[in-house]
Amino acid sequence: MTETFVPPTRFAVPGRIAVNEQAASVWQTATLTEIRRETARAATYRFAVPGWRGHLPGQHLLLRLTAEDGYAAQRHYSIASAPDDSGHVELTLDHVEGGEVSGWFHTVARPGDQVEVRGPVSGFFAWPGDRPALLIGAGSGVVPLMSMVRHHRARNLAVPLRLLVSARSPEELIYAREFGPETTPVFTRSAPEGVAVGRMAAAHVAPLLAEQPSSGWEAYVCGSNSFAEHASRLLVTAGQPVDRIRIERFG
């Protein structure tokens, strides 16, 4: 509880509140323990949440900042970390220009600061690791998908998983250092030499559909409204059943 968020004169982070370890509906205190830069615009924030009841890859939480005068700002953030018993969760935030909450995190927040979180929420976008998963994301839409990739690795799961991720450039590709053969990046503005530049297209999706396992893919799409619509249209055109496409919109 050492810092304020934007605008600095108005807000202070809340004091410690009671934690109910059983209920996702209860606000819990989260202490920022580490900040890791991912790209020029995105950073990962690691929190200690002693009462965290666990989550499934793909779920998100609600995060609340409260001002000294009682004004509160609340936003949804996907959980980037895989489920584990460390008592920590990680979020990755894009710095939205003029953004109240992301702006505070990117310009003011320091390890030791406390915020409130509530969750996890949204079982619909969760992937328990039990079925083949085709993940498609753009920008910070890769965050919940990365939790799935990390879970897949941490548990050494045999079930097939593929990630198709769109970013403006290699420099803006969040988690670039962590990706392995499961991932195909698509660059829309600039790309390494020899790699095509352009919007995600049928040519990216069709090969993944062609290699689908006999039980088919469960598709998880995450990004802005327009990206989610574009990607789900590509999937349906390539033959993916509509009722096996799950969409999370950040817009």
Which residue number, 140 or 183, has a Cβ lying nearer to ligand FAD?
A: 140
48/14 Cα distance (integer angstroms): 16
| DSSP line for 57-117 | TT-EEEEEEEBTTS-EEEEEEE--SPP-SSSEEEEEEE--TT-HHHHHHHHT--TT-EEEE
The single-letter DSSP state of residue 208 is H
The DSSP H or E segment spanning 48 is strand 42-48
Which residue number, 90 or 218, has a Cβ lying nearer to ligand FAD?
A: 90
67: contact with ligand FAD by CB under 6 A: no
**Least distance to ligand FAD, CB of residue 111, Å:** 19
60: contact with ligand FAD by CB under 6 A: yes
**Least distance to ligand FAD, CB of residue 120, Å:** 11
250: contact with ligand FAD by CB under 6 A: yes
Which residue number, 76 or 155, has a Cβ lying nearer to ligand FAD?
A: 76
94: contact with ligand FAD by CB under 6 A: yes
The DSSP H or E segment spanning 143 is helix 142-154
Return residues touching ligand FAD (CB under 6 A). Answer: 60, 75-78, 92-94, 96, 98-103, 140, 143, 248, 250
